[in-house]
Amino acid sequence: MQQIFYTTATPEEYHRLGENFPFPVPGSCLNPECLVKVPPQKYGFYKRNAIDANFNGRILIRRYYCKYCGKTISYLPSFCLPYFQYTIETILMALCYILDSNHSLRACLKLLKNLGWAPAHLQFYLKRFLNNQNRIKVGLRQLIPGISLPPDEHDKRKGAQKVLRIVTTGFPQIQTFQARFHKQCKYSFMAP
Ligand SMILES: [Zn+2]
C-alpha cells in the first residue's frame, strides 16, 4: 500500500540525500485490516522517476514490510503524484495555465517549453482533471466539512476552473492538498 508523506524537500534535495533522507517510520502497521502495534520492518527501496523543470532523475522510495499481514508499505514524497513521472507542482502549473488563464494549448506549451511536451501530453492532464472534478469535489467535502462547492456544470471546463481554484487557494500548498486527499480517499486526485 502506498502512503504519501508531506515534505518540503525539493526533488533535487530528496535525491541528493538518497538513503539518508529522514523517511517516515511507521510505529504500527497501516493496513486497516491488520493495524498490529509492531513497527513494520524496513524493506529496502524501489526507484521511480521524478521530473520537474529543474530535476530529472530516479529517486528512492522507502518501503516497509509487516510480517503479520504480509503487506508492503511504501512512502511517496508529496512532490510525487502517484503514477505520474512529472511532479505535482509541474502538473498543477500546467493545469493552471490551461484552465485558469484560458491560454491556448500552443501558448501553454510555450510557457512550459523547457519541459518539451507534445500537445497530447498536456491534453492528457487536462482531460483527466476535467473527468475527475466530481470525484475531487467528493474528497474536498470530506476534507473541509461545510465547504461551499460549485454546482455540477454542464460546461466541464468552467466547473474544473472552480475546483482548481479551491485546490490552489484552500490549502497551504498543493502538496498539503494531495497528501491529505490521498490519506482521506485512498486514491490520488489524478487517478484514472
Ligand atoms: Zn500488518
Kindly report, residue by residue over 121-175, the tens digit of the pLDDT: 999 999 999 999 999 999 999 999 888 888 887 888 889 999 999 999 989 999 9
**Do 50 and 15 touch, CB atoms closer than 8 A?**
yes
Which pLDDT does position 150 carry in this prediction?
83
The residue from 43, 77, 111 where one domain ends is 77
Question: Around Cβ 118, how many Cβ atoms within 10 Å?
Answer: 9
Cα dist. 7→13, 75, 77 in Å? 11, 11, 6
Q: For residue 47, what are the CA distances in angstroms to 18, 69, 137? A: 11, 24, 32
d(CA 46, CA 155): 41
For ligand 1, the distance from its centroid to the CA atom of residue 44, given in whole angstroms, is: 17
Are 102 and 73 within one domain? no
**Domain housing 38:** 2-77
Residue 191, domain member (yes or no)? no
Strand order, beta sheet including 2-5: 2-5, 72-77, 56-65, 41-51
pLDDT score at 50:
97
Residue that finishes a domain, picked among 33, 58, 77? 77
Q: Find the 29 Cα to ligand 1 centroid distance in Å.
A: 5
Residue 183 CA to ligand 1 centre (angstroms): 17
Please indicate, yes or no, whether residues 106 and 175 belong to a single structural domain of this protein. yes
pLDDT at 102 exceeding the cut of 80: no
Q: In the chain, pLDDT over 90 holds for what percent of residues? A: 80
Q: In the prediction, which pLDDT does 114 show?
A: 82
Looking at the fold, whether 41 and 65 belong to one and the same domain comes out as yes
pLDDT at res. 26: 96
Q: Which residues surround ligand 1, an ion (CB under 5 A)?
A: 29, 31, 34, 66, 68-69
What's the structural domain count of the chain? 2
Indicate if the pLDDT at residue 105 is higher than 90: no
Q: At which of 19, 49, 77 does a domain end?
A: 77
pLDDT of 101 over the 80 cut: no
**Given the C-alpha cell 466539512, which residue does it identify?**
145
Taking the centre of ligand 1 as the mean of its atom positions, its distance from the CA of residue 54, in whole angstroms, is: 38
How confident is residue 24, by pLDDT bands cut at 50, 70 and 90? very high
On the question of pLDDT at 111 being above 80, the answer is: yes
Percent of the chain, pLDDT > 70? 100
Distance 35 CA to ligand 1 centre (A): 6
Average pLDDT over residues 42-56: 95
